[in-house]
Chain A
Amino acid sequence: MMKDQKLWTWHLLAGVVILVFLGMHMTVMHLDALVNLPGLNPADGHPIDWANVVARGKIMFFPITYVILLGAALFHGLYGLRNILLELNPAPWLAKTIGVVLVLLGFGLFAVGSWAALTAHTVAVATKVV
């Protein structure tokens, strides 16, 4: 299988992962008026209220799924962006530069996002919500 075919297959698989985890994320964050799952927003306010962020952060399921979603979405999004940019026929040196920049950006943001998700879990566990 050629390299681009492999990457395209990963692109599709990442899309399925995103569909599941981003679907859950969107349901918790934006469809809370319709789907009010018990325990996910215990402060009874907006899902981004600190008390709700802490409550979700305490459950290890969330940081783990955040990291999986982060990796899948970064790959899916940046590979899609690369495909769109390369279709515009950039010069070979520019195409290579685009690839390198996007890979570095992806790994950099994955490191930052994963650190934030796991540190937030530690912060949430240490936080006593009144």
Chain B
Amino acid sequence: MIESKNHPNRLGIWGWLGGGRWGMERYLYALHRLTGLGLVGYFLLHILVTTSRAFGQGPWDRVMGTLQSPLFKVGEYLVFLAFAFHAVNGIRLCIIELGFGVGRPIEPVYPYRTSVDTQRPLALVVLFLAALLAAAGTYSFWLH
């Protein structure tokens, strides 16, 4: 936040996707934010909904009964997919934040090289693991 002082974010939300010729990491960044917003919205409602268990079986069954429609089931599935991606990509972000997987600093000599190339395998591993987790969730949600 401090770094953005006196540097107005002129592109706003459009900058998440249309900021320039970004690599796939930029789209992972946008997806991380979108899934984060979805998860936080769901979580705030989830706290209120699950409070009903403190009032006993009757209120719990009534509340859960209203959440059994296909619409909520699909919504819950989307939340799981968002969790799968956000969690695995979050691990990648922590690894990079700590300075691992970005390569050693090098002189800016032409032709310039970017550390994004060094990070790319990590991003691919994230996509693979998220897909694996999503597949497990898909099986548990719909095929079991």
CB within 8 Å of B: which residues of A?
2, 4-5, 12, 15-16, 18-19, 22-23, 26, 30-34, 48, 50, 53, 57, 70, 73-74, 77-78, 80-81, 83-84, 86-89, 105, 109, 112-113, 115-116, 119-120, 123, 127
The distance from the CB of B125 to the nearest CB of chain A, in whole angstroms, is 16
The distance from the CB of A42 to the nearest CB of chain B, in whole angstroms, is 16
Number of interface residues of B (CB under 8 A): 39
B9 touching A109, Cβ below 8 Å:
no
Contacts of B91 in A (CB 8 A): 19
In the complex, whether B101 has a CB less than 8 A from a CB of chain A is no
A16 touching B53, Cβ below 8 Å:
no
CA distance A115 to B48 in the complex (A): 11
B44 touching A109, Cβ below 8 Å:
yes
CA distance A116 to B63 in the complex (A): 15
A30 touching B80, Cβ below 8 Å:
yes
B53 touching A34, Cβ below 8 Å:
no
B140 touching A48, Cβ below 8 Å:
no
* Extra contacts besides A5-B2, A33-B144, A116-B54 (11): CB < 8 Å: A18-B87, A22-B83, A26-B80, A50-B60, A53-B60, A74-B43, A81-B40, A88-B13, A119-B54, A123-B53, A123-B56
B90 touching A15, Cβ below 8 Å:
yes
Number of A-B contacts defined by CB within 8 Å = 90
CA distance A56 to B17 in the complex (A): 43
B141 touching A77, Cβ below 8 Å:
no
If the complex has contacts A50-B57, A83-B1, are A30 and B140 also in contact, measured as CB distance less than 8 A? Answer: yes
CA distance A130 to B91 in the complex (A): 43
In the complex, whether B108 has a CB less than 8 A from a CB of chain A is no
The distance from the CB of A24 to the nearest CB of chain B, in whole angstroms, is 12
The distance from the CB of A4 to the nearest CB of chain B, in whole angstroms, is 5
In the complex, whether B139 has a CB less than 8 A from a CB of chain A is yes
One of A4, A15, A112 near B51 (C-beta < 8 A): A112
If the complex has contacts A30-B141, A50-B61, A81-B37, are A115 and B54 also in contact, measured as CB distance less than 8 A? Answer: yes
The distance from the CB of B61 to the nearest CB of chain A, in whole angstroms, is 6
B87 touching A23, Cβ below 8 Å:
yes
If the complex has contacts A19-B91, A22-B83, A50-B57, are A109 and B47 also in contact, measured as CB distance less than 8 A? Answer: yes
Q: Which B residues from 106 to 142 make CB contacts under 8 A with A? A: 136-137, 139-141
